[in-house]
Amino acid sequence: MKTMLRAATLRIRLLILSTLIFPALLSAESTVSQPELLQQSEQISNLDELLETVKQNRLKEAQLNREREQAFIKQKSRQKALLAEAKKAFEASQASNNPLKKKTEENAKRINKAQQTLHEKKQELGDIYSIYTAMAGEFSAALQDSMVTAQKTGRTEKLDALLQTERLASMEDLEQLWLLVQDEMTESGKIVSYQGPVVTRDGHVDNRSILRVGTFTAFSNGDFLRYIPETGELLELSRQPANRYVNEAETFSASVATLLPVVVDPTGGSLMGLMTYAPTLQERVEQGGIIGYIIIGIGLLGLLITLWRVLYLSIIHLAMRRQLKWLDQPSHKNPLGRVLLSAVGFKAEDDKIQYKLDEAVLAEIPKLERSHNLIKLLAAISPLLGLLGTVTGMIVTFQAISLFGSGDPKLMAGGISQALVTTVLGLVVAIPLLFGHSLVSSLSGNMVQRLDEQSAGIMARLMEAQSNSNIDHAKGG
């Protein structure tokens, strides 16, 4: 209980001390420090001592205020003197500042006049500077895209350094820009051979002999190179264009001094790089798929049959022409000879001779027209298969659209390629087969007509021989 009573008494002391003594001391700017007050509060043991301490502090505060009032009253008598001194000092400083102020105003007028003159002169130079910066900026981009930069590195850095300066372009800067433009114009009309780095297909950098044709085309060992503006390097195309272009490049590289045709790419190799993506004939055929291979197989079969029939009919035609020269010596190795042999032993008055001749001619027609209908059938099937491939390719295209949408045309290219390639293959096969069928039909028709003519001639010769025999018999009788 005693401990609790002491603690409560201590709290009351601190509360009274904080509410009475500290505000009074702070408002009066008492010189009594906080450690002294804390020491006094620790020495207070009852309320009487606390009251006595408060009274003493109030007396000290009153004494301090009286001292301040007396000091203020003493200084009041000197206020007029201080004010007079301040006015004199102000007037003296104003008198000394008036000439400086006037001079400052004159300087300001001179500065304004000089600024006006500078603005007028700067306006004339500003037009030149704007033209210079515009041309330098455009020419910097042109240098970056120029194939000459791969040979002469560091030109763009010089121009960029000229552009980054904030000052007006000097005569030296203008001459530097003029020299760069003149150098680019000169190099664009040259055919130059030099040693330089080339990025190969596998990503390695080799030092090779490079042949540059102006700012358009570059070769290395007969291979086309592509200029990369972002890095300023020459890149070997991963896939070279058609052989005729490569052969021209190799020939031109081997004899630069001779006037020869050469491929020129105005885009610095980009157009030639795009040409390498053009599919070859084999790749075109592969785009047709299984239907394309079937059409090609039909075409090859029809071509072989056509060649066989043309060769066979040509041989028969030559044999029949030889037989026409020796009608009295028929041979069984050709159709005409076999028709002539079928009439041997018959007389003109015999009724069976006409049937024998017709039978012999009809027996030769199937041999002469063999496989002609097959060629015609193959020629008719080929475009139908091409149409089938077209429908199949469009089905594949619509499936790609339904799955991936129509945003990327490359996803639809496969089906469209199949549709178009099969159509082309069908027409390419059908057209020659139709010509082949027409050729073999014409050859066989001519030979059948020749057999009909010769069979009629046989009848005429027999009848003529019979008539001559009757005349001779009548004369003899």
Mean pLDDT along residues 454-474: 62
Asked if 383 and 470 sit in the same domain, the reply is yes
Percent of the chain with pLDDT over 90: 10
Asked if 244 and 356 sit in the same domain, the reply is no
Asked if 36 and 59 sit in the same domain, the reply is yes
Q: In this predicted structure, what is the pLDDT of residue 299?
A: 93
- pLDDT class of 306 with cuts at 50, 70, 90: very high
- pLDDT class of 436 with cuts at 50, 70, 90: very high
Question: Which of 211-225, 238-252, 287-301, 428-442 has the lowest average pLDDT?
Answer: 238-252
In a domain, 378, yes or no: yes
Q: In this predicted structure, what is the pLDDT of residue 100?
A: 75
Residue 331 has pLDDT above 70, yes or no: yes
The span from the CA of 335 to the CA of 42, in Å, is 153
Q: In this predicted structure, what is the pLDDT of residue 24?
A: 43
Mean pLDDT along residues 179-190: 82
Rounded to the nearest 5°, which phi and psi values hold at 90? -65, -45
pLDDT in tens, 125-149: 666 777 777 777 788 778 777 888 8
232: region left, alpha or beta (phi > 0 left; psi from -120 to 50 alpha): left
Asked if 298 and 234 sit in the same domain, the reply is no
In a domain, 365, yes or no: yes
Residue appearing with tokens 């000091």: 71
Residues 68-73: contacts with CB within 8 Å, 24+ apart? none
Residue 115 has pLDDT above 50, yes or no: yes
Residue 95 has pLDDT above 50, yes or no: yes
Q: How many domains does the chain have?
A: 3
SS3 213: strand
How many CB atoms within 10 Å of residue 426? 26
Vertex 115: Cα angle to 109 and 116 (nearest 5): 95
* Domain termination residue (choose one: 58, 76, 94): 76
In a domain, 199, yes or no: yes
* Domain termination residue (choose one: 13, 41, 76): 76
In a domain, 281, yes or no: no
The span from the CA of 399 to the CA of 260, in Å, is 51
Asked if residues 305 and 371 have their Cβ atoms less than 8 Å apart, the reply is: yes
- pLDDT class of 468 with cuts at 50, 70, 90: low
Asked if 259 and 294 sit in the same domain, the reply is no
Asked if 432 and 299 sit in the same domain, the reply is yes
* Most confident residue range from 16-25, 170-179, 307-316, 404-413: 307-316
Residue 380 has pLDDT above 90, yes or no: yes
The span from the CA of 331 to the CA of 337, in Å, is 5
Asked if 257 and 292 sit in the same domain, the reply is no
Q: Using alpha carbons, select from 242, 180, 245, 244 the residue that is nearest to residue 219.
A: 245
Q: In this predicted structure, what is the pLDDT of residue 213?
A: 80
Four-residue CA torsion sign, 86, 92, 96, 101: positive
Q: Pick 360 or 30 by higher pLDDT.
A: 360
Mean pLDDT along residues 62-70: 82
Residue 14 has pLDDT above 60, yes or no: no
In a domain, 246, yes or no: yes
In a domain, 154, yes or no: no
Asked if 384 and 421 sit in the same domain, the reply is yes
In a domain, 107, yes or no: no
* Domain termination residue (choose one: 276, 306, 331): 276
Mean pLDDT along residues 182-194: 82
- pLDDT class of 375 with cuts at 50, 70, 90: very high
Question: Which of 121-125, 331-335, 454-458 has the lowest average pLDDT?
Answer: 121-125
Asked if 330 and 467 sit in the same domain, the reply is yes
Q: In this predicted structure, what is the pLDDT of residue 29?
A: 43
Q: What average pLDDT does the chain have?
A: 75
Domain carrying residue 270:
189-276
In a domain, 215, yes or no: yes
Tell me the two tokens of residue 431: 């057209």
Asked if 353 and 261 sit in the same domain, the reply is no
Asked if 436 and 292 sit in the same domain, the reply is yes
Tell me the two tokens of residue 457: 């001639």
Asked if 236 and 322 sit in the same domain, the reply is no
219: region left, alpha or beta (phi > 0 left; psi from -120 to 50 alpha): beta
Q: In this predicted structure, what is the pLDDT of residue 23?
A: 45
Residue 4 has pLDDT above 70, yes or no: no
The span from the CA of 51 to the CA of 146, in Å, is 100
- What single-letter DSSP state applies at residue 151? T
Q: In this predicted structure, what is the pLDDT of residue 30?
A: 43
Q: In this predicted structure, what is the pLDDT of residue 90?
A: 77
The span from the CA of 302 to the CA of 381, in Å, is 11
Question: Which of 130-139, 253-262, 464-473 has the lowest average pLDDT?
Answer: 464-473
